[in-house]
Amino acid sequence: MNLKSLKVVLLGVAVALSGCMTQSKYMVKSDGAATAAHPDKATVVFLRPSSFGGAIQASVYDTGPQEDKFIGIVSAGDKLAYSAEPGEHLFMVIAENADFMIAHLDAGKTYYVDVRPRPGVWKARFSLLPIHNDPAAKYSTQSQEFQHWLEKTTWIEKGPGADQWYHEHASNIREKKLDYMQKWDRMKASDKANLTLNPSDGK
């Protein structure tokens, strides 16, 4: 690759990672009614307050050994609610990479997750960061920063074509999941603990 071509590529990467924000055509705005806690379910809210990597969307899943449940596509400035069975879950985010987060959920509680973009090779990568119900935590539901995140993000939900998009890409998503799952499986227990929502984090 010559110098001119390299500059064009790097410029494209810089634009993709800039604050230029795009929204997924498969998601629509909602009134947030899905966040109402059901006594027999837990609600998990995926927030993406950062505008970094705004041109790139991240899809999130409730993943398991047998199947991956497609939750939705989260763009910059979005928040997406998911009604989950109580108990242990492994959530996954897919973009250039795949990444994971453990959650231990109690019925009747609402939990929050930061869909956090970070620099990738060609486009933004993402992590799922638990937001704890602890004022001393780095990411806390009791912080002013968290309240600002809630105010600046907009509720969305899956729209027409979202599930069809997932079915068309399911094999590629699972391939990426299995690839990055090897790294997750090698991760130290202490590092996984930092990527875990605990029952007490629900409100």
- Among 65-69, 91-95, 108-112, the minimum mean pLDDT is found in 65-69
Instruction: Choose between 16 and 149: higher pLDDT.
Output: 149
Q: What is the pTM of this model?
A: 0.87
| Residue 15 near residue 7 (C-beta atoms within 8 A) | no
Q: What does the pLDDT read at residue 175?
A: 95
Instruction: Choose between 42 and 12: higher pLDDT.
Output: 42
Domain ranges of the chain: 3-201
Q: What does the pLDDT read at residue 88?
A: 97
DSSP annotation of 46:
E
Tell me how crowded residue 9 is: count the other CB atoms within 10 A of its CB.
12
In terms of C-beta density within 10 A (0-12 exposed, 13-18 middle, 19 or more buried), how is residue 198 classed?
middle
- Among 8-22, 45-59, 83-97, 157-171, the minimum mean pLDDT is found in 8-22
Element (H, E) at 7: helix 3-16
pLDDT range class, residue 55, cuts 50, 70, 90: confident
Q: Which CATH number fits domain 3-201: 1.10.1740.10, 2.30.30.700, 3.40.50.2300, 2.60.40.10?
A: 2.60.40.10
pLDDT range class, residue 6, cuts 50, 70, 90: very low
Instruction: Choose between 55 and 96: higher pLDDT.
Output: 96
